[in-house]
Amino acid sequence: MCIEKLRQLCAAIEPVDEEARTEARRRHDQLAKPQGALGRLEELGARLAAVAGACPPPIPVNPAAVICAGDHGVHAQGVSPWPQAITRLMLENFVKGGASANALAEVYGATVTVVDAGVSGESSPSTRVERAPVQGPTKDLSLEPAMANETCTVSLSFASSVADDLIDKGADVIIPGDMGIANTTSAAALIAAYTGKTAAETTGRGTGIDDQLLKLKTEIVTKALERHGAGRDALTTLASLGGLEHAAITGLILTAASRRVPVIIDGVNCVAAALAAQALQPRSVGYMVAGHRSAEPGATVGLEHLGLEPLLDLDMRLGEGTGALTAYPLLKGAAALLNNVSTLQELGV
Ligand SMILES: Cc1cc2ncn([C@H]3O[C@H](COP(=O)(O)O)[C@@H](O)[C@H]3O)c2cc1C
Ligand SMILES: O=C(O)c1cccnc1
């Protein structure tokens, strides 16, 4: 995608509908229950009304999980205990249906689309993935920009077309997920750059590293921020510090927003992409629902910056879209309440 196309995508995002939100809040106060008794489900319903521009909002029935996978040059610095080859093995596992994300998607009725945003090595021709026209892994972000701005826009644009296709076919909620060994290092750097926080505040244990490795990882993020942190434009920051899956997830988020479809934000990698989307087009935040609070510290820092309160806090720290998938039924419930509960007036009160 040339920069101009990215600009067009951002420009196509309208503000969410504040009148529909107000109407939903008013309707909740009239339903056959004490005012406010459905707690945060009421505000979630109002948010869905604002996204759809309608009160009551449609009840979602066709959620689409889109798992974006990419490999990272910074893996060479020893920031993850896992070999890079796990990314491709998991990509194939998503296609076979054997990952945690698949189990949750199956039970909640979500389709799973797998995007190879730049995984090292070759997949067998029979593997059913959407293959982005870029080569992974990224460069080592602690030494040089992870990718060129142009590569970043190609990845973003490719995922954007995947989301457009899914929405054209009836998807009514987009649930991005990530896979990429070492990507929590990249996410920590992105979150620090977009929020102005330090590496120490955003860097966490990822798949589960010890204190010594956490110290090294934090130093790597600090180094990356010194090289290409604050003061860059939104796209250059994403390209310099992000992974190809972060760029792709940013494309999914912006596209969902441009189509007035809610997008559920998962853990630290999706939060990093959500911050990129916010920096590119602040109006996109109105279309986001924070699925859960990941145990990774950068996730909380990022959600605060986005002004989003996560629905769930289950100590999850996996990624793949698992936290967002777990939160999905709450969106169905919140919309169903606004659609199907009688008003006190209808009961003759
Ligand atoms: C088997 C396996 C499955 C995963 N599914 C998601 N992740 C998660 O862990 C990785 C990031 O952690 P770090 O930065 O510490 O490498 C990402 O792939 C993320 O999606 C997984 C990790 C592993 C090992
Ligand atoms: O927050 C997440 O989604 C996460 C945390 C650790 C490793 N991978 C993903």
Q: Is the pLDDT of residue 125 over 80?
A: no
- Cα–Cα distance measured from residue 74 to residue 111, given in angstroms and rounded to the nearest whole number: 32
- Do residues 28 and 45 lie in contact, with contact meaning Cβ atoms separated by under 8 Å? yes
- For residues 191-219, give the mean pLDDT: 98
Nearest Cα to Cα of residue 121 among 169, 46, 71, 75:
71
What's the ipTM? 0.99
**Average pLDDT value over all residues in the chain:** 97
320 is catalytic: yes
- Cα–Cα distance measured from residue 128 to residue 114, given in angstroms and rounded to the nearest whole number: 8
Predicted confidence band of residue 3 (pLDDT cuts 50, 70, 90): confident
**What percent of the chain has a predicted confidence (pLDDT) above 90?**
95
Tell me, in angstroms, the distance from the centre of ligand 2 to residue 54's CA.
34
pLDDT number for residue 126: 65
- Cβ–ligand 2 distance for 197 under 6 Å, the answer no
- Cβ–ligand 1 distance for 102 under 6 Å, the answer no
Regarding pTM above 0.95, the answer is: yes
Q: Whose CA is nearest to atom 21 of ligand 1?
A: 318
- For residues 114-121, give the mean pLDDT: 97
User: Higher confidence at residue 2 or residue 17?
Assistant: 17
Name, in order, each residue with C-beta under 8 angstroms of 190's C-beta and a sequence gap of 6 or more. 237, 238, 241, 242, 246, 272, 273, 275, 276
Give pLDDT tens digits for 91-108.
Answer: 999 999 999 999 999 999
SS3 for the chain, per residue? CCHHHHHHHHHCCCCCCHHHHHHHHHHHHHECCCCCCCCHHHHHHHHHHHHHCCCCCCCCCCEEEEEEEECCHHHHHCCCCCCCHHHHHHHHHHHHCCCHHHHHHHHHCCEEEEEEEECCCCCCCCCCCEECCCCCCCCCCCCCCCCCHHHHHHHHHHHHHHHHHHHHCCCCEEEEEEECCCHHHHHHHHHHHHHCCCHHHHCCCCCCCCHHHHHHHHHHHHHHHHHHCCCCCHHHHHHHHCCHHHHHHHHHHHHHHHCCCCEEECCHHHHHHHHHHHHHCHHHHHHEEECECCCCHHHHHHHHHHCCCCCECCCCCCCCCHHHHHHHHHHHHHHHHHHHCCECCCCCC
- Cβ–ligand 2 distance for 269 under 6 Å, the answer yes
Give pLDDT tens digits for 228-263.
Answer: 877 899 999 999 999 999 999 999 999 999 999 999
Give pLDDT tens digits for 131-178.
Answer: 999 999 999 999 999 999 999 999 999 999 999 999 999 999 999 999
- Cα–Cα distance measured from residue 241 to residue 152, given in angstroms and rounded to the nearest whole number: 11
Q: Whose CA is nearest to atom 24 of ligand 1?
A: 82
Burial of 30 (0-12, 13-18, 19+ CB in 10 A): middle
Tell me, in angstroms, the distance from the centre of ligand 1 to residue 242's CA.
16
- Do residues 253 and 274 lie in contact, with contact meaning Cβ atoms separated by under 8 Å? yes
Give pLDDT tens digits for 77-96.
Answer: 999 999 999 999 999 999 99
pLDDT number for residue 67: 98
- Cβ–ligand 2 distance for 298 under 6 Å, the answer no
- Say which amino acid occupies 248: A
pLDDT number for residue 115: 98
Q: Whose CA is nearest to atom 9 of ligand 1?
A: 207
pLDDT number for residue 1: 53
Backbone angles phi, psi at 142, to 5 degrees: -85, -10
Predicted confidence band of residue 2 (pLDDT cuts 50, 70, 90): confident
- Which is the catalytic residue, given 23, 245, 296, 320? 320
- Cβ–ligand 1 distance for 184 under 6 Å, the answer yes
Q: Report which ligand 2 atom has the smallest distance to the Cα of 205.
A: 6
Name, in order, each residue with C-beta under 8 angstroms of 298's C-beta and a sequence gap of 6 or more. 184, 187, 188, 191, 192, 201, 202, 203, 204, 268, 271, 272
- Cβ–ligand 1 distance for 221 under 6 Å, the answer no
- Do residues 43 and 142 lie in contact, with contact meaning Cβ atoms separated by under 8 Å? no
Q: Whose CA is nearest to atom 7 of ligand 2?
A: 206
Q: Report which ligand 2 atom has the smallest distance to the Cα of 294.
A: 1
For residue 99, the ligand closest to its alpha carbon is: 1
